[in-house]
Structure 1
Amino acid sequence: MTSTVLCLTVAGEVTATVLPQTADEQWQLVREKIGGPADQGRYHRSALLHIHGTGARDQLDVNLSAWALASAWAGQDLPYWLYGDIVLTGPQYSDGSLAPLGTVCAGQVREAAEAVREVLLEWKGRAPASESAARSEILAAVRHRLAVQRPHA
């Protein structure tokens, strides 16, 4: 079985990529996919989000899908945005290598991205009342999708 990681783009697209075997190759892949230095965020016990380390400073686009997923996983509305494309893997081993993303978490990534796309489509005909209302609507949609998919994943 091939070990994979997911890339979640700012456009909400989710793509699977084969995880290389060595830690050096894995970290090179992460940097290539996000386009720069990588910071890690842990919002779920079984997943790491690899986030562009200077995304805000470099004025990369906000990744709404990643922000909403991380907020849902963390159980709180993150007070900061996540910028640029994001790579999702399983946890990091003590030797620095990365575990593949598990199937439950991978399914949740796809569900969250789809929920955000649906909300954005709705907004083409109806704009949200405010930024706060927009955040709330996106988070509600993602939390609902994750709860319907699997309540305690």
Structure 2
Amino acid sequence: MTPRPGRPVVVRTPDLRIETRRTGGTVRCALIGALHQDNQQVFALALRDGLRARPARLSVDLRAVDLFTSSALDTLLRTRYEARALGVVLALDSPSRCVRRFLEISRSAPYLPVEDSGPARARRRSPRRPPGTPRADRNPVGPRHGTTFRRHWA
């Protein structure tokens, strides 16, 4: 399904959501969730549909990806090869921390250009506590919410 200008195409799997939108000469694929072997085909089809529109630029938004595996990297590298053959610029838009780390470890960052667009999200950090101090949501024994553990004796 080729994206039309202004109207997003949304594809959902149990642990991945892909929203593809065309604006001007750019097709943007926003990914939310986990990218792994089980949804690799859906991911590859969404990128190929984006390339089928023959845009000047294909932007893959990875800011909300919380799991990135080698099958996802393989799909991106294959898409880069196809995009280059069609004369389309492929760029990764604001990859999440796990994606950046995977690109760094696999040494594939030079082959997939990364661009950070939009305002950076402010991160909430927990205040520093001295070592050994329990977190606010836990007491020294365990969770506060009354979770009980039963032992079953044989």
Whether TM-score is above 0.5 comes out as no
Larger radius of gyration: 2
TM-score normalised per structure 2: 0.30
TM-score normalised per structure 1: 0.30
Q: Greater strand share, 1 or 2?
A: 2
Q: Greater helix share, 1 or 2?
A: 1
**Structure ranking higher on relative contact order (CA contacts 8 Å, 6+ apart):** 1
